[in-house]
Amino acid sequence: MSSQRIHAVDVTARNLKANARLSLKDQQLRNNMRSAMDSLISKRIISMPDEDERENLRELGNKIRARALSELPDLLEQLEANLTQQGVQVHWASSTAEANNIVLKIAQARNAKQVIKGKSMVSEEMAMNEYLTEHGIEALESDMGEYIIQLDNEKPTHIIMPAIHKNAEQVGRLFEHRLAIPYTDDVDSLIQSARGILREKFFHADIGISGVNFAVAATGTLLLVENEGNGRMSTTVPPVHIAVTGIEKVVANLQDTVPLLSLLTRSALGQGITTYVNMISAPRQAGELDGPEEVHLVLLDNGRSQAFADAELRQTLNCIRCGACMNHCPVYTRIGGQAYGTVYPGPIGKIISPHLLGLENTPDHPSASSLCGACGEVCPVKIPIPALLRRLREENVKSPKQQPQIMDGQGSRYSAKERLLWKGWQYFNSLPWLHKTGTFFATRLGGLTPKNLGPWTQNHSAPKLATRSLHELAKQHLEKKS
């Protein structure tokens, strides 16, 4: 992760706790986040009033994703074959470095100087903007939210609403400062200013870059959803379109996108559908007067095959990136997305980022949750996020040497002392005489327990041991009765 984008707090994944403490003190951030999340929560539920309809559709969404993953390699090959036959060039990348290199090669072959981007979380994962900039190519975000945070050198705070942590006044000040536009907090005029600037960028761009919401194997179709039209501009105006996506985004056929689309847009924004659903199956054909001459698809692994290798963790890859888990998360709502220091924040971020970056770089993510379960309850494809968080906690405290190694960075929170303590606890509880003697003395000497128990007593009073153990009390009770 490049240091260029770090802003406001030291945003690295390893500093989640410190970042969170800073974010919690930022009252403006907390107000902005809270009002935005409350509104997204209510929009979602208003758009899904019928519980049966909603729950049946979530179940179907889960099965469609599970089915796609159950034949993922075949579907990827089918997708590749169809796209290739239709004239789209398909590239594969194991790492973000490989993916960046592929994009750069395409850009250099076209002698490209300016790249315009529609919204793409995978390109964030790649830190593609920084990479292209280092190689002398301007990479500009065109999604309004992404454009705003790029102007302020920040990372997205939300996967659907990247700049939701800022209010109109903050955006107005930013535009005044960076674009020399007279200050206003009128949202319409701010948007119109950005539209004017970005239209020129679309006009001149050599390459347009986008993500993919669903890649349809049976028809070789890249399906993109959006409200702004910048996705359509990015994929239509420049002579070259490069789509970048994760290998998990494939679905079997077009009809599978019907329930998934409905789940996606209602869960994300409470909309029955987005303004645009843009389906791309080929570059400009003979006789067509617009559209890109070249279309490329870059399929990125970057840790996804690690999640895929374990049947339980594989469910992480069901995700259709709606953001509902964030909107409903009590932790995310309070600390905002940037504190996580990862491209994907919130509950989904906590279960996907350890695969992308390794547990050693995301040591606190699996435990930054109260396990309240809201994320799992709203997930449109029923990813059991709380269960996966518990699973990652386990992987995180295993001995780093324990085989088989399922996750990179396994055991980043392993402590020999803690392990020994639990071993002792197990031993203590499995020998009746030891347990009996131990509890006898513990209850008699209860008054000697320390008042200060480290972090626990910062927020709680110290626990007091009962004067008699439950065993003893039960025994006394039974004796009295008889």
Could you tell me the smallest distance in angstroms from the CB atom of residue 144 to other proteins?
4
Residues 209-238, interacting with other proteins (CB under 8 A)? 219-221, 227-230, 232-233, 236-237
Contact stretch for other proteins (CB under 8 A) within 31-39, 338-346, 356-364, 430-438 = 31-39
Q: Residue 20 or 297: which CB sits closer to other proteins?
A: 297
What are residue 92's DSSP bridge partners? 299
Q: Is 373 helix (H, G, I), strand (E, B) or coil?
A: coil
Say how far apart CA 330 and CA 348 lie, in whole Å. Answer: 14
Q: Residue 110 or 435: which CB sits closer to other proteins?
A: 110
Distance of CA 151 to the CA centre of its chain: 22
Burial readout 289-308 (b: 16 or more C-beta within 10 A, e: otherwise): eebbebbbbbbbbbbbebbb
Asked whether position 402 contacts other proteins by CB under 8 A, the answer is: no
Contact stretch for other proteins (CB under 8 A) within 103-111, 143-151, 376-384, 404-412 = 143-151
Query: Which runs of consecutive H residues, i.e. helices, occur in 251-336?
Result: 257-269, 304-308, 324-327, 330-335
Say how far apart CA 91 and CA 57 lie, in whole Å. Answer: 33
Could you tell me the smallest distance in angstroms from the CB atom of residue 276 to other proteins?
6
159 contacts 178 by C-beta, under 8 angstroms: no
Residue of 386, 355, 384, 352 lying closest to 369 (CA atoms): 386
Residues 192-211, interacting with other proteins (CB under 8 A)? 192, 195, 198-199, 202-203
Chain position carrying tokens 């054909």: 285
Q: Residue 15 or 281: which CB sits closer to other proteins?
A: 281
Task: Identify how many contiguous H helices and E strands the chain contains and give both numbers.
Answer: 22, 10
Asked whether position 47 contacts other proteins by CB under 8 A, the answer is: no
Asked whether position 174 contacts other proteins by CB under 8 A, the answer is: no
Could you tell me the smallest distance in angstroms from the CB atom of residue 322 to other proteins?
15
Contacts 24+ apart (CB under 8 A), 48-56: 48/266, 48/267
Q: Residue 188 or 479: which CB sits closer to other proteins?
A: 188
Say how far apart CA 264 and CA 266 lie, in whole Å. Answer: 6
Q: Residue 129 or 230: which CB sits closer to other proteins?
A: 230
Distance of CA 158 to the CA centre of its chain: 8
380 upstream amide cis, omega within 30 of 0:
no
Asked whether position 114 contacts other proteins by CB under 8 A, the answer is: no
> Which phi and psi angles does 294 have, rounded to 5°?
-125, 135
Asked whether position 352 contacts other proteins by CB under 8 A, the answer is: no
Residue-by-residue DSSP string for 7-20: -SS---GGGHHHHH
Q: Residue 189 or 469: which CB sits closer to other proteins?
A: 189
Q: Is 456 helix (H, G, I), strand (E, B) or coil?
A: helix
Beta strands in 171-274 (DSSP E): 207-210, 214-216, 221-226, 240-246, 250-251
Distance of CA 465 to the CA centre of its chain: 43
The angle, 0 to 180 degrees and rounded to 10, between the axes of the packed helices 72-85 and 51-70 is 80
Asked whether position 145 contacts other proteins by CB under 8 A, the answer is: yes
Q: Residue 228 or 395: which CB sits closer to other proteins?
A: 228
Among 26, 98, 138, 408, the residue binding other proteins under the rule CB under 8 A is 98
Residues 281-320, interacting with other proteins (CB under 8 A)? 281-285, 287-291, 299, 301, 305, 308-309, 314
Could you tell me the smallest distance in angstroms from the CB atom of residue 231 to other proteins?
9
Chain position carrying tokens 């606890």: 425
Q: Residue 291 or 438: which CB sits closer to other proteins?
A: 291
Could you tell me the smallest distance in angstroms from the CB atom of residue 43 to other proteins?
9
Number of residues lying near other proteins (CB under 8 A): 94
Asked whether position 181 contacts other proteins by CB under 8 A, the answer is: no
356 contacts 306 by C-beta, under 8 angstroms: no
Distance between the two ends of the chain, CA-based, in angstroms? 71
Asked whether position 183 contacts other proteins by CB under 8 A, the answer is: no
Among 28, 94, 399, 457, the residue binding other proteins under the rule CB under 8 A is 94
Could you tell me the smallest distance in angstroms from the CB atom of residue 288 to other proteins?
5
Among 11, 44, 79, 162, the residue binding other proteins under the rule CB under 8 A is 162
Q: Residue 11 or 269: which CB sits closer to other proteins?
A: 269
Contact stretch for other proteins (CB under 8 A) within 13-21, 165-173, 399-407, 416-424 = 165-173
Residue of 368, 359, 358 lying closest to 332 (CA atoms): 368
Residues 236-275, interacting with other proteins (CB under 8 A)? 236-237, 247, 252, 254-256, 258-259, 261-262, 269, 272-275
Q: Residue 2 or 192: which CB sits closer to other proteins?
A: 192
Residues 53-82, interacting with other proteins (CB under 8 A)? 53, 56-57, 60, 63-64, 66-67, 70-74, 76-77
